[in-house]
Amino acid sequence: MNVMNAHPKVMQDPAPFVGVVVLGDNSINLAIRPYCDPADYWAVYFDVFEAGKEALDAANITIPFPQLDVHMPKA
């Protein structure tokens, strides 16, 4: 929300939205909705995703990658 609220082209009415879409096995998937003028859509889209990733990095939040542990019995 901080990233969207700080972006000069993101409208405050309607307010930006963040919600949990899926609680996955290896992730929590979020939906983000920064409203903007149609002419600014792609600039806002890419700016918000990039700044969001940078904000997660600054908070030491990493993207979890699927992990599989294989146990091989001794034969």
Write the pLDDT tens digit of every residue in 28-62. Answer: 899 999 999 999 999 999 999 999 999 999 999 98
For residue 75, being part of any structural domain is answered with no
Distance CA 27, CA 65 (A): 8
What pTM was estimated for this model as a whole?
0.77
Q: Which of 17-26, 40-49, 61-70 is the most confident on average?
A: 40-49
For residue 63, being part of any structural domain is answered with no
Alpha helices in the chain (DSSP H): 2-6, 41-58
For residue 42, being part of any structural domain is answered with yes
Query: How many distinct structural domains can be found in the chain?
Result: 1
* Owning domain of residue 52: 2-58
